[in-house]
Amino acid sequence: MAWEIKNDRPVYIQLVEELETRILNGTYTVGTKLLSVRDLAGEAQVNPNTMQKALSELEKKGLISSRRTSGNYITDDEKLIRDLRTELASNEVGAFCGKIKKLGITKKETIELINKEDF
Amino acid sequence: MAWEIKNDRPVYIQLVEELETRILNGTYTVGTKLLSVRDLAGEAQVNPNTMQKALSELEKKGLISSRRTSGNYITDDEKLIRDLRTELASNEVGAFCGKIKKLGITKKETIELINKEDF
DNA sequence: ATTATTGTATTATATCAATAATACAGTTAC
DNA sequence: GTAACTGTATTATTGATATAATACAATAAT
């Protein structure tokens, strides 16, 4: 699985975003155990401390829970996952439309551009 | 005019984005003189050095040209402005669709969400 | 002609982020 | 029982960013 970490924004933020997306889109299965901090850091080619920081952010959001000597586990609260997914999508749409509107692009043009995209 | 500078990303990047948007959407008129570095910095409530850094980025892009003791001037190359506006919009659409797709949201749902937005 | 304004450069300081290198106590695996 | 693995914490160093405080030469304004 690809970890595309750039250096235009804090790495730990990008890790939070990637992990959150994987939980919300089902790449990581509800209730299952994550790779260890060290292994995740290895996969993403970042320092374990940075991955640890990202995981602690996810725990604040309730998306994972850590069992000290066993590992980090994805939440089994499916409603939380659905709600966060909806909220994230809504935020993305709002931010995108705000930027596009400010550029003076119409809604009609925007939808035409999106229709050309592949998804 | 509102300068909404947050501290979640480098300030000079946000200044570049805001200035670029204003040039591309016509808020700043082609060929005219900008406020001085110091006055722009005052408006945006940032340090003059930070505003200067943003302006030098815009000059690299060809959107402004500085006349050392007279001021900074918006380019009069209208084609450049049109092209950059189109490119920026295209990039925004691509980035947005990439994120939405990764969340597992369909194109149909996305367009419904956008249709609810006000613009 | 003098004064104020222009972009630009320099130096210093403070903060945040990232990495590195360990360390430790509890648990799991064998 | 021992060894390996777990999350977590600590300390140090480096680099990027932001601000501050000046400075200067060229031009514009008066």
| Protein residue closest to D9, using CA and C1' | A49
In this complex, which of A94, A102, A114 lies closest to B110 when CB atoms are compared?
Answer: A114
Q: Across chain A, what does the average pLDDT equal?
A: 97
Percent of chain A at pLDDT > 90 equals: 98
Our measurement of CA A64 to C1' C8, in angstroms, reads: 51
Pick the CATH number of A11-76 from 3.30.40.10, 3.10.20.340, 1.10.10.10, 1.10.3720.10: 1.10.10.10
A65 in helix, strand or coil?
strand
Chain B residues whose C-beta sits inside 8 Å of any chain A C-beta: 9, 21, 24-26, 85, 88-90, 92-94, 96-97, 99-107, 109-111, 113-115, 117, 119
Residue B37 CB contacts under 8 Å (≥ 6 apart), including other chains: B48, B51, B52, B55, B72
The answer to whether residue A54 scores a pLDDT higher than 90 is yes
**Residue A104: per-residue pLDDT:** 97
* Domain residue limits, chain A: 11-76, 79-116
Interface contacts A/B by beta carbons within 8 Å: 84
Q: How far apart are CA A15 and CA B56, in angstroms?
A: 31
For residue A24, give both structure tokens. Answer: 């919300």
Residue type for position B50: T
Measure the CA angle with vertex A12, ends A4 and A38; round to 5°: 85
User: pLDDT in tens for each of the 119 residues of chain B?
Assistant: 899 999 999 999 999 999 999 999 999 999 999 999 999 999 999 999 999 999 999 999 999 999 999 999 999 999 999 999 999 999 999 999 999 999 999 999 999 999 999 99
pTM: 0.94
What's the pLDDT at B118? 94
- Interchain pair B103, A21: CB under 8 A: yes
For residue B61, which of B77, B45, B40 has the smallest C-alpha distance?
B77
Give the relative orientation of helices A11-24 and A78-102 as an angle to the nearest 10 degrees. 120
